[in-house]
Structure 1
Amino acid sequence: MKKNVYYGKDDFRIESLENVEIGDTELLLKMMCCGVCGTDVHKAIEQTVPTPTVLGHEVSGIIEKTGKDVKDFKAGDRVFVAHHVPCYSCDQCRKGNYSLCPQFKATNLNPGGFSDYIVVSDKHIHSTMGKLPDNVSYEEGALVEPVACCLHGFSKVDLEPGDNVLIMGAGQIGIIQSQIARHKLANQIIVSDVNDFRLEKALAFGATNIINPSKQDIHAELLAMTDGQGIDLIIISAGIGRLLNDAMNLIRRGGQILVFAPFKKDDVHIPAYRFFEDEIKVVGAYSSTPLDYEPALIMIKNKVIDAQAMITHKFPLEELESAIHSAHDPSGQSLKVVITER
């Protein structure tokens, strides 16, 4: 048994996973697939987490064994599991802000998704684990968590059928969001990015139009694509602070902006007058909630989200560092990168 441990930028080490024991309320999961999330890439490249640590949280696998008090799952079950669990009783949870709960980020998988085996606590069993249907592969199951994150984001905005949507960023998250927008009957689903490979992928996954702002006048293109109406909803899915300024200048009167990416803690200058004069709304969304996993699984099961087709690169656990760099390469031809254990 092994795990891939992050010690710093370009410093991943395979280590033995020894003396794995579970309690009566826990279970042992054999990891079969773990997606490489943009936050994993950010943590590894920017070195934003304490080390040593095992990254990875988009997990699917098969249950190896269960503690005697585990009732709803058994050895041999194929499942997905995510990493953060709210307490359900604090002030934030009572308001429905589960991802802001103090317990939320304090909970995690043990040791993390990039490991042969994972000890899953009772909290996770009850809140972030679900069985995979027969027609959902382990690779598809690993995308339940990112799809759930996107559904949480859409719950923060009011998207009406016929609205025009601009998604800034054609990475894995932007591609999922374009498929959800299509499912919600958006009119124009426009995706912008500077990577032409990812833009072409966006068209294949439901975008009606694409824009490369390094080559095109994005404002003029948006007006032309929407017959002069403009954009009702802009989703920022790339962690670039200036995109908020761009979004504030591009959104139509009465429009909404969803911030769905981490920015560096720098000042971002925006045209603040638009809040009052044009009734612009800006909201943020972080992570997912336990309420989003079942809808996410259903969307994957019913091919509303074509999860399997999104996967462009697969690496074994030993090559996690290469997987991180593949996902990080802005000029590369990767969309969704996963770690597989077969």
Structure 2
Amino acid sequence: MQKSVYYDKNHFEMQPIGNLDINSDEVLIKMKVCGLCGTDIHKAVDKTVEPPITLGHEIAGEVIAAGDDVMDFNVGDRVFVAHHVPCFTCTYCKRGHYSLCPQFKMTNVDPGGFSEYIRVPALHVKHTMGKLPDELSDEAGAMVEPLACCLHGFEQISINPGDQVLILGAGQIGCLQIQLANHFLAEQVIVSDVNPYRLEKAKEVGATHVIRADEEAVQEQVNRLTDGHGADIVIISAGISFLLEQAMHCVARGGTVLVFAPFTKNDIPIPAYRFFEDEISIVGAYSSTPYNYTPALELLKKGVIDVDKMVTHRFPLSKLNEAITLAHDTTKEVLKVLIVPDGSR
């Protein structure tokens, strides 16, 4: 039993997992698929976590042991599981801000998603783990958590049928958001990026129009495509600081900007007059909540989200660093990367 341990940029080591004995209210699963998230890439490349650590949280697996007090899961069940659990009782939780709960980031699966076997603590068994139906693949199961994150973001923006939607960034999250925007009956879903391959993938999953951001003026194209109205909803899905300023120039009067990616700069110039004169809003969304997993699962079951069109690469656990290097290179033809025990490109 091995896990991939992060020590530094370009430095991962395969190591024995060690003792994963479970308590009576816990579950042990065998990892079948773990998606490579943009935050995993950010942590590994920018060294924002304290090593040694096992990353990974978009998990699908099979139950191989269940404690005597676990009633809802049995050995052999195919499951998904997410990594953080709120307390449900603090000030933030009572206001519906579950991902801001002090307990949220303190909880995690053991040792992490990029491991052959994973101990699922009792809180996770109760609140963030669910069974995968027969009609969904393990790869689809690994998409429950990132899709739930997108649903949490959409809760903040109140998209209406007929809205003009602009998504800045055609990566894995942007392509999930394209499909959700169409599901919620947007009139147009406009997507910008600098990677032509990702823009093609964006069209495959339902983008109405795409903009090559390094060759075209995004604001001019948005104005042209919306007859000067602008985008009612602008979603920032790439962690590039200047996109906030760009979003502020593209959003329509009365519109909303959703910040769905971390920025590397704190000082970003924006046209602040628009808050008062145009009644625009800027909101943020971090991670997901336990209440987003069931809707995410149903959307996958009903085929609203096309996982097959998104997955471009599969790597074995031992090649995690190679997977991250590829996924981080914005010039490559890559979208969604999955880590599987016996994976291959």
Same fold (TM over 0.5): yes
Residues 60-85 of structure 1, C-alpha deviations (whole Å, 9 max, x = no match)? 00000011111100100000000000
- Find out whether 1:301 has 2:301 as its counterpart: yes
Specify the alignment match of 2:246 in structure 1.
246
Residues 127-184 of structure 1, C-alpha deviations (whole Å, 9 max, x = no match)? 1100001010111100000000000000001211000000000000000000000000
Residues 66-107 of structure 1, C-alpha deviations (whole Å, 9 max, x = no match)? 111111001000000000000000000000100000000010
Specify the alignment match of 1:230 in structure 2.
230
**More off after superposition, 316-325 vs 17-26:** 17-26
Write the distance in 1 (CA, Å) between the matches of 2:294 and 2:20: 29
Write the distance in 2 (CA, Å) between the matches of 1:309 and 1:211: 20
**More off after superposition, 19-28 vs 55-64:** 19-28
Specify the alignment match of 2:92 in structure 1.
92
Deviation at 1:265, TM superposition (A): 4.3
Deviation at 1:309, TM superposition (A): 2.2
- Find out whether 1:170 has 2:170 as its counterpart: yes
**More off after superposition, 19-28 vs 310-319:** 19-28
Where in structure 2 are the equivalents of 1:96-115 lying within 5 Å?
96-115=96-115
> Which SS does the other structure have where 2:240 is aligned?
coil
Specify the alignment match of 1:280 in structure 2.
280
Taking only the aligned residue pairs, the percentage that are identical comes to: 56
Write the distance in 2 (CA, Å) between the matches of 1:128 and 1:212: 38
Where in structure 2 are the equivalents of 1:84-163 lying within 5 Å?
84-163=84-163
Write the distance in 1 (CA, Å) between the matches of 2:4 and 2:235: 33
Amino acid at match of 1:59: I
> Which SS does the other structure have where 1:105 is aligned?
helix
Specify the alignment match of 2:264 in structure 1.
264
- Find out whether 1:195 has 2:195 as its counterpart: yes
Write the distance in 1 (CA, Å) between the matches of 2:64 and 2:142: 18
Deviation at 1:227, TM superposition (A): 2.5
Specify the alignment match of 1:49 in structure 2.
49
- Find out whether 1:290 has 2:290 as its counterpart: yes
Cα RMSD after superposing both structures: 0.8
Deviation at 1:226, TM superposition (A): 1.5
Specify the alignment match of 1:335 in structure 2.
335
Write the distance in 1 (CA, Å) between the matches of 2:83 and 2:222: 38
Amino acid at match of 2:138: Y
> Which SS does the other structure have where 2:104 is aligned?
coil
Write the distance in 1 (CA, Å) between the matches of 2:309 and 2:218: 28
> Which SS does the other structure have where 2:262 is aligned?
coil
> Which SS does the other structure have where 1:64 is aligned?
strand
Q: TM-score, normalised by structure 1?
A: 0.99
Amino acid at match of 2:303: K
Deviation at 1:20, TM superposition (A): 2.0
Deviation at 1:264, TM superposition (A): 1.5
Write the distance in 2 (CA, Å) between the matches of 1:96 and 1:251: 26
Specify the alignment match of 2:209 in structure 1.
209
Write the distance in 1 (CA, Å) between the matches of 2:223 and 2:112: 45
Gapped regions of structure 2 (runs ≥ 5): none
Q: TM-score, normalised by structure 2?
A: 0.98
Write the distance in 2 (CA, Å) between the matches of 1:18 and 1:217: 54
Specify the alignment match of 2:314 in structure 1.
314
**More off after superposition, 172-181 vs 242-251:** 242-251
Contact 2:204 2:309 in 1 (8 A): no
Amino acid at match of 1:263: F
Specify the alignment match of 1:35 in structure 2.
35
Gapped regions of structure 1 (runs ≥ 5): none
Residues 240-295 of structure 1, C-alpha deviations (whole Å, 9 max, x = no match)? 11100111111111111000000124211111111001101000000000000010
Write the distance in 2 (CA, Å) between the matches of 1:211 and 1:309: 20
Deviation at 1:224, TM superposition (A): 1.8
Deviation at 1:219, TM superposition (A): 1.9
Specify the alignment match of 1:76 in structure 2.
76
Contact 2:201 2:309 in 1 (8 A): no
**More off after superposition, 4-13 vs 303-312:** 303-312
Amino acid at match of 1:140: A
> Which SS does the other structure have where 1:30 is aligned?
strand
Aligned residues: 342
